[in-house]
Structure 1
Amino acid sequence: MKEVQDIVAAYDEAQREGRQTALATVVHVLGSSYRRPGARMLVTDDGKLTGAISGGCLEGDALRKARLVMARQQALLATYDTTDEDDAKLGVGLGCNGIIQILIEPIDPANPLNPIQLLKTFLRHRQTAVLVTLFSLAHRKAEQPGTCFLMEQNGYIKGHALADKTLQAALEAQAKEALQTGASSFVAYDDGQQLTSFVEVLKPPVALVVVGAGNDAIPLVQLADVLGWEITVVDGRANYATAARFPLAKRVLVAKPELLLAHISPDNLTAFVLMTHNYNYDSAVLRQILPLQPPYIGSLGPKKKLGRMLEELEGEGVPVTEAQRQVLYGPTGLDIGSETSEEIALSIIAEIKAVFSRRSGAPLRDKPDVIHPRQDAVIRKASFSGQVDASAETG
């Protein structure tokens, strides 16, 4: 989500400078590539790039095409096929062995429903949303519809209504399904135009609550900021929990443990790390947040410390369920041999990312299959009526 935040900020800066802009989005990948569908890059007419659509090998060619898009004010679908061993003929030397589809759209600042404005709408609320984009793989030189609409979590739609009401209804149904499943999808509509939809689930950033404002919390906050996470630092010590010490945090709170939940509202993307080095404070916070069962509660220090906290809770008649134990990580962090506070912060951030991504945190070298499941890129087929045939797949 950091990429979207940076793109929006860069767009606002470009508008202040009177620059033209275009947005390049990876809308489909077949095979291997450095970036996956949903990766974005903002291009300005003076050649400034924000975000990334590859590891650096596509950006130069995309810049050239983006300038053409800005000049013509017409979207373009660029295809990079690296399945040929001699991919050097593309002039980009990818070596990824995949087919990458990149939609490049001109951004009209006078249009309140342009793609950047839709991304801004998403960023305003800490809620999951779905962005629907249409493109034509069969007719790459034809007009590309591009970004259509954003469906918010409450079902509200902001964007352009298609002239084809049947297709509009089918896309809305697909967006609702994506909100329910939390999974992005691709559907090819056989309606004469042979359009493909990229229905992309946009999730808010991780909310990291750092319970403890000691010196070792500083690198943890710094690393979380690099990822674009929303950071709250809380401590009972007013001389530690200050904005001057944690300028990158969204909020810095001085609060007693029993008042913590009066200041924050945890959701299913909230992670807590208990690291005050004050046993009683950490234990009191754990008492408050454990019943909420957030996806991640990390406890800095030895396993014995967390075990003692749980024993005390149960001794006081507060049952600790197996489901609650599953969200507890103590000691917090992955085993990477961390010693310094910076290394410990790295291990904690990596573990939180692994937990939220439902990954093991094991070396990719030992992964028996590809990094990204190929079924994630499958394009399902739909009839003109919009009925999706799950058994008919392409790509």
Structure 2
Amino acid sequence: MIKELEDIVKAYDIAQQQGLRTALATVVHVDGSAYRQPGARMLVTENGTLTGAISGGCLEGDALRKAQLVMMQQQPMLVVYDTTDEDDAQLGVGLGCNGIIYILLEPITAEDSNNPLQLIRQLISTRQESILITLFNKEQRKDIQPGTRMLCRQHKNVGTIPGDMLQQAILQDVQEAYHQRASIIKSYVSPDYQLTALLSYITPATQLIIVGAGNDAQPLARIAQVMGWHVHLLDGRPNYATATRFPDTTIHIAKAENALEHLVPDAYSAAILMTHNYNYDLKILQQLVHFPLPYIGVLGPAKKLQRMLEESDSITAIQRERIYGPAGLDIAAATPEEIALSIASEIKRVTAGPATSGQSLRDKKGAIHNRRAQIITTQHL
């Protein structure tokens, strides 16, 4: 999701330079099955440029037309697509899902310092988990739709929620979203209004630290970049670690003892040791275990990692659990590209959390996506 937000901000800046009006489309609720889940976003410019996605391509055309109306009227609009209706043709779009999808369309006012794009810009500027709050009136679609109003981060909130009582109730639920590490949708009812809030839980982009600038590191860097990960390359060989060989990569050329000086591996980071230089990898491993990153991969045979562990008797059992060697999933990978896919897939599985098994979706029981964010609870104020 974070890559989509980064792309949206870049597209918005380009639109601003060109003097084009824009609108933000957000999936705020899904009842049933849909390709994208609540929190998916798409930027629309008045010339028809789309960045991001709110479906697999079936809703975008109709959403574009309605977004252009929103830009013209400068009023948010809540649009509902009922894909459970077998007669898809009546909507004028080719729908293939089996759910009801609520899309909030918001015009972006550049003069508003807390407009949705400015909140998203602040969100992606720091490596912190964040909650982006979007308010909509699900029951009265013709009423005012407040839209994306607040960004909550650790010890700092930006933006405002209309009404002190409503804001206090929502901020209490923000803490619950942090605790669950998941998005929440909740309705708030008072004698004067009924509003629903999407509390989008968003984590920073994965920071991938590739230790080693050999040829086999190149496809891994490319796959990571396609995934939207922030890639750092560490190596002591300036003739290998070059921008030509590793474009769009942050390169750190240093001896093993100093390689991590300008990096802060955090809980949203992963590292893979693949220099093919045993001593360099060993020294990096002995430093990495003291950081909270959930994945440290070691390329090569199991006996290599075993030797590393024997020479690093200070590594604790808890630290050992975060070390994966031989690195990668068992997909019969043989070529550098296949090995890179295997490693990237293992990193994704580990960083996704314990609820992810890595099994084939064919064999998964129940829904593909976690549907906690589709269940709306109600609080009376």
Q: Deviations over 1:315-339 (max 9, x none)?
A: xxx2x33322221111111122222
Q: Which residue of 2 aligns with 1:382?
A: 379
Q: Which residue of 1 aligns with 2:207?
A: 207
Q: 3-state SS of the aligned residue for 2:252?
A: strand
> C-alpha separation between the residues in 2 aligned to 1:40 and 1:245?
33
Gaps of 5+ in 1: 385-395
1:323 pairs, out of 308, 318, 325, with: 318
Q: Which residue of 1 aligns with 2:347?
A: 352
Aligned length, in residue pairs: 377
> C-alpha separation between the residues in 1 aligned to 2:6 and 2:371?
28
- CA shift for structure 1 position 293: 4.6
Q: Which residue of 2 aligns with 1:368?
A: 365
Q: Which residue of 2 aligns with 1:259?
A: 258
**8 Å contact 1:32–1:98 — kept in the other structure?**
yes
Q: 3-state SS of the aligned residue for 2:300?
A: coil
Q: Give the alignment of 1:1-395 within 5 angstroms.
A: 1-154=2-155, 156-162=156-162, 164-191=163-190, 192-249=192-249, 251-314=250-313, 318=314, 320-358=315-353, 359-384=356-381
**8 Å contact 2:184–2:372 — kept in the other structure?**
no
Q: Deviations over 1:134-165 (max 9, x none)?
A: 001100111101011111222x1211341x21
Q: Percent of aligned positions with the same letter in both sequences?
A: 54
**8 Å contact 2:265–2:292 — kept in the other structure?**
no
**8 Å contact 2:8–2:42 — kept in the other structure?**
yes
**8 Å contact 1:235–1:276 — kept in the other structure?**
yes
**8 Å contact 2:77–2:105 — kept in the other structure?**
yes
> C-alpha separation between the residues in 2 aligned to 1:260 and 1:81?
54
Structure 1 stretch 353-362 or stretch 55-64: which is displaced more? 353-362
Structure 1 stretch 183-192 or stretch 106-115: which is displaced more? 183-192
Gaps of 5+ in 2: none
- CA shift for structure 1 position 294: 1.9
Q: Which residue of 2 aligns with 1:393?
A: none
- CA shift for structure 1 position 312: 2.0
- CA shift for structure 1 position 383: 1.0
Q: Deviations over 1:152-186 (max 9, x none)?
A: 222x1211341x21111112222233234322111
Structure 1 stretch 181-190 or stretch 86-95: which is displaced more? 86-95
**8 Å contact 2:136–2:145 — kept in the other structure?**
yes
**8 Å contact 1:354–1:361 — kept in the other structure?**
yes
**8 Å contact 2:38–2:373 — kept in the other structure?**
no
**8 Å contact 1:26–1:102 — kept in the other structure?**
yes
Q: 3-state SS of the aligned residue for 1:6?
A: helix
Q: Over aligned residues, Cα RMSD in angstroms?
A: 1.4
> C-alpha separation between the residues in 1 aligned to 2:164 and 2:349?
41
Q: 1:23 to 1:293 in 2, by over 3 A?
A: closer
**8 Å contact 1:153–1:179 — kept in the other structure?**
no
- CA shift for structure 1 position 214: 0.8
Q: 3-state SS of the aligned residue for 1:262?
A: coil
Q: 3-state SS of the aligned residue for 1:233?
A: strand
